[in-house]
Amino acid sequence: MKMSLKSTLQFTVEIPVYPERVYRAWLDSYEHGRFTGRAAEIQPETGGRFRALGGTVKSRLTRLVPHSLIEQSWQIEGLPLEEDSRISLTLQPTCTGCEVGLHHQGVPLEWGKTLLRWWEERYFRPLRTYFEEIVGDYVADMGDG
């Protein structure tokens, strides 16, 4: 995991499935709810509404490049993020699945470490665990797309 604490958080995590699979899971209400453990309501289109973690996260999808990039506004209930807080998720294929990169802008400096933990606990550890549990049913070498 890599991070840079300024007004932007950046880190990467390896997920054991192809980018297409992660892209689909992030944008599918049912599957997003499965890997986070909380309800999600997602309109998977540019400009679409994105509500996750039982309504704790409120967002709009601002740019979608199938299987490689998701950009969205990002607000978390109870955290003092800047009004224009935004995230970019990049999905890059690797020989064992994909690398998911997060770039989160609009983070107050004093909240950097807290928010980094939030991302790991609420999103990236559950996402990795979710796919590790089903990787027997989905082998990265078989392709998906």
pLDDT reading at 105 higher than 70 = yes
Where b means 16+ CB within 10 Å and e means fewer, 49-88 reads ebbbbeeebebbbbebeebeebbbbbbbeeeebeeebbbb
Structural domains in the chain plus CATH codes: 8-140 (3.30.530.20)
- Confidence class of residue 4 from pLDDT cuts 50, 70 and 90? very low
pTM of the entire predicted model: 0.87
Q: What is the pLDDT of residues 9-55, one digit of tens each?
A: 999 999 999 999 999 999 999 999 999 999 999 999 999 999 999 99
- Confidence class of residue 110 from pLDDT cuts 50, 70 and 90? confident
At 3 the pLDDT is: 45
At 136 the pLDDT is: 62
- % the chain with pLDDT above 90: 75
Closest CA to 129 of 17, 7, 2: 17
At 85 the pLDDT is: 92
CA–CA distances in Å: residue 107 to residues 9, 63, 98, 114 = 7, 20, 26, 10
- Confidence class of residue 137 from pLDDT cuts 50, 70 and 90? low
pLDDT reading at 72 higher than 80 = yes
Q: What is the mean pLDDT of the chain?
A: 90
- Confidence class of residue 135 from pLDDT cuts 50, 70 and 90? confident
